[in-house]
Amino acid sequence: MARVRSVAAVLGLVLATVVGLAAGLVPGRAAAAGHGPRRDDRGYVIRAAAFVDRAPAQRLAERLSRKRYRASVLAVSLADSSIWYLVLVGPYRSAEEARRAAGRLERAESLSTSIARRDILGPPADAGAFAVQRTRAESGGIPELAAGWYRKGYEAQFGVEQPVDLDAAVTAYLKAVELHPRFAEAYNNLGIAYLARGDTAKAIEAFEQAARVRPGYADAHFNLGVALATSGAVAKAVDAYQDALRMRPDFFEAHHNLARTYEDLGDLAHAVEAYEAASRLRADHAEVRYALAVVHLRRGALQQALGEWHRASDLDPEPPRRPETLIAPGQGIGLFRLGTPVVAVRQLLGPPHLVTPATGSRTSTLIYVYRDPDETTYSLALTVDDSSGRVVGIETDLPFYALAQGIGVGAEVGDMEATLGQWDRREVSPHGFVEYGYERLGLRFRVSADGQVEGAAVIIPNPPPRAH
């Protein structure tokens, strides 16, 4: 029978033999100016179990995956050089979200769990051999004193049984490479520490040195890409990610970051290719599928976007919010803005499926129709002022779109009212739905008889007359 050990006890003893890029250094989308780093907003995992053998850990992870949990296995090495295999579930955006999920997991699966920050755990078990073991095999051995300084650096960097101390980590790694100049992992983790400290130029130098002393070190090239993107050298970051992928074609994180970088450069065709490559490696990764859907939105390929969004929502019903999916009251929905020339809409989306003139007014409506993999039909309707040729109203029931507060298709009417306050107008339709008008905001919602939002419209705001 496989031995199972308290997960909390195992994690308290993790040492420096787990290496790789901390998850917190995978860059998010670019800020408004430049490509500043952003910690991954899904930074917590559930530690579900720990085993001394990989096979039972893998079996548990597979069983949980079949039940739609995002489960994986991570190998860690302890102070006594033994290796344990952790079964992780997640990631989650916050510790509170992870705790709620852990409670449900414990009740459903009779497991004793705990919560951990993902960026302290290290890379997945199948990312490669452990640092010291691998370097010893490839370089003929690490002097014991250098290995000791490396461990001190890791413990300080990732807060193993002590507070995080990046300055102490940098000092320890510098001592390690002074004693062993070909210590690739020490250079690599030195670069991570520099980047976390904000010393981007020194981080680039450290990653470049790691790549020089060990040709074929994919992690170093990947991390170099992160540092270059952080510095604003986005085109060079593409080269670094591509180098990492030549060395390790199944490097999921490199495909993912390459896709993000192409997207930031506006190279949407290559972004699609890179996201699709990442998705082939991790079909259960909702974040990648949501991102691919957004790239399709930017390309005007709403049918493809709908398919990816549908698959992503099956994996994670809480989508990330990006400008391309936001409803802006009185301004627009996603990429479609009030005042946009209809010519630009046609250039992006192509010819509409239907054009309907409005009776008694000088407007017409362009209607685009889409179907998801379940054959559910959705539409996007843009009302155009015929005299100016500009969009004056937008209505849709596509699931991409929601207010920044999360109010969109599927939301409860009570949540809508709690978020937006009292409506200006409420009308019951002969077709069975109710329209709530927030005319002062330039916003309307269509709500079903059972109280769920079915669609949203953005119009030119119509503030109420001022009292005299």
Per-residue pLDDT tens, the chain, 468 aa: give them: 232 322 222 222 222 222 333 322 333 222 222 233 333 345 788 888 877 777 888 889 888 988 888 888 887 654 344 567 788 898 888 878 888 888 888 888 888 787 776 654 443 333 223 444 444 444 446 788 888 888 888 888 877 667 889 999 999 999 999 999 999 999 999 999 999 999 999 999 999 999 999 989 999 999 999 999 999 999 999 999 999 999 999 999 999 999 999 999 999 999 999 999 999 999 989 999 999 999 999 999 999 999 999 999 999 888 888 999 999 999 999 999 999 999 999 999 999 999 988 666 789 999 999 998 889 999 999 999 999 999 999 999 999 999 999 999 999 999 999 999 999 999 998 888 999 999 999 999 999 999 999 999 999 998 665 554
In a domain, 64, yes or no: yes
Give dist(CA 393, CA 414) in Å, integer. Answer: 25
pTM over 0.85: no
Maximum CA extent, the chain: 88
Last residue in a domain, options 126, 161, 182: 126
Give the Cα-Cα-Cα angle 348, 351, 353 (nearest 5 degrees).
Answer: 120
Domain range for 437 is: 323-459
Inside any domain, residue 153: no
- The reply to whether 251 falls in a domain is no
Residue 298 lies in a domain: no
Taking the C-alpha atoms of residue 34 and residue 38, their distance in angstroms, rounded to an integer, is 12
Residue with tokens 């015929």: 386
In this predicted structure, what is the pLDDT of residue 160? 64
Rounded to whole angstroms, the Cα distance separating 448 from 465 reads: 30
The CATH number of whichever domain residue 422 belongs to comes to 3.40.33.10
Q: Which pLDDT belongs to residue 464?
A: 60
Retrieve residue 346's tokens.
Answer: 């046609």
C-alpha atoms less than 13 angstroms from C-alpha of 171 in its C-beta half-sphere: 6
The structural domain count of the chain equals 2
Residues 222 and 26: beta-carbon distance below 8 Å: no
Where does a domain end: 126, 152, 169?
126
Q: Which amino acid is at 305?
A: A
CA distance 174 to 186: 8
Q: Where is the domain boundary, 111, 126, 141?
A: 126
Angle at 86 between CA 59 and CA 99, to 5 degrees: 105
pLDDT score of 200 = 95
Residue type, 411: A
**316-348: buried (b, 16+ CB within 10 Å) or exposed (e) per residue?**
beebbeeebbbbbbbbbbbbbbbebebeebeeb
In this structure, are residues 82 and 15 in contact, taking their beta carbons and an 8 Å threshold? Answer: no
Predicted confidence at residue 121, as pLDDT, reads 47
Domain-located, residue 90: yes
- Catalogue the E-assigned strands of 105-211: 114-117
- Residue 209 maps to a domain: no
pLDDT for residue 29: 27
The predicted structure's pLDDT at residue 67: 84
pLDDT of residue 463: 67
DSSP H or E segment with residue 423: none
Give the DSSP letter string of 318-340. SPPP-GGGBEETTTEETTEETT-
pLDDT of residue 123: 38
pLDDT for the residue 56: 82
Residue 273 lies in a domain: no
**Interatomic CA distance for residues 160 and 168, integer angstroms:** 13
User: What pLDDT is attached to residue 119?
Assistant: 52
Q: Of all helices (H) and strands (E), which one includes residue 409?
A: none
254-270 burial by CB neighbour count: b if 16+ within 10 A, else e? bbbbbbbbbbbeeebee
State how far the alpha carbon of 120 is from the alpha carbons of 164, 193, 256, 363, 375, in Å. Answer: 10, 13, 20, 58, 43
**CATH number, domain with residue 24:** 3.30.70.1070
pLDDT of residue 9: 27
Two tokens, residue 126: 């199948």
Is the residue at 301 inside a domain? Answer: no
